[in-house]
């Protein structure tokens, strides 16, 4: 659970938009959203019973948007280079991970101090580039485990 102090319209891990709504939200076209996904800059999640895939809003959060997200998604690949899929990426970003002192990757990316433990607060206080380095290693480990 992301603490209330992590205030942003993009911090809600439950918040998802269609390509059309996300495009309106960030001032791009739906075609640009789809192109960004094809280029590995975004991911979407298929939801049973919905005709369109949905894009988690947290991808637009300043701590992830752009190069950091692209780098993390590049790590979330199988041994053959295939993308693990949107659901697997979403689970990675939203799940507390033991190796990250039980922070979610989204919390760590944002530098959210949860005060759950001294280790989680120490990780959260690292500079953004160090937090990204830690997250890249965690993403690779996650992808490797998903491919077993």
Quick: pLDDT tens for 80-124.
Answer: 777 788 899 999 999 999 999 999 999 999 998 787 889 999 999
Closest CA to 76 of 109, 43, 101: 43
Q: How far apart are CA 94 and CA 56, in angstroms?
A: 10
Report whether pLDDT(5) > 70.
no
Residues 11-33: tens digit of each pLDDT: 566 789 999 999 999 999 999 99
Strand 55-56 to 16-17 pairing: antiparallel
- Reported as half-sphere exposure (CB side, CA atoms, 13 A), residue 3 has a value of 11
**pTM exceeding 0.95:** no
């Amino acid at each position: 659970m992301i603490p209330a102090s992590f205030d942003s319209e993009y911090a809600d891990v439950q918040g998802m938009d269609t390509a059309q709504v996300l495009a309106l939200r960030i001032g791009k076209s739906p075609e640009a959203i789809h192109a960004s996904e094809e280029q590995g800059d975004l991911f979407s999640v298929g939801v049973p019973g919905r005709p369109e895939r949905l894009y988690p809003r947290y991808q637009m959060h300043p701590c992830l948007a752009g190069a950091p997200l692209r780098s993390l998604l590049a790590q979330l690949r199988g041994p053959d280079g295939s993308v693990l899929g949107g659901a697997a990426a979403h689970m990675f970003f939203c799940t507390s991970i033991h190796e990250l002192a039980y922070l979610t990757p989204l919390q760590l990316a944002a530098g959210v101090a949860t005060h759950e433990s001294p280790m989680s607060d120490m990780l959260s206080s690292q500079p953004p580039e160090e937090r990204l380095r830690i997250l890249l290693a965690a993403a690779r480990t996650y992808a490797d485990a998903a491919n077993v």
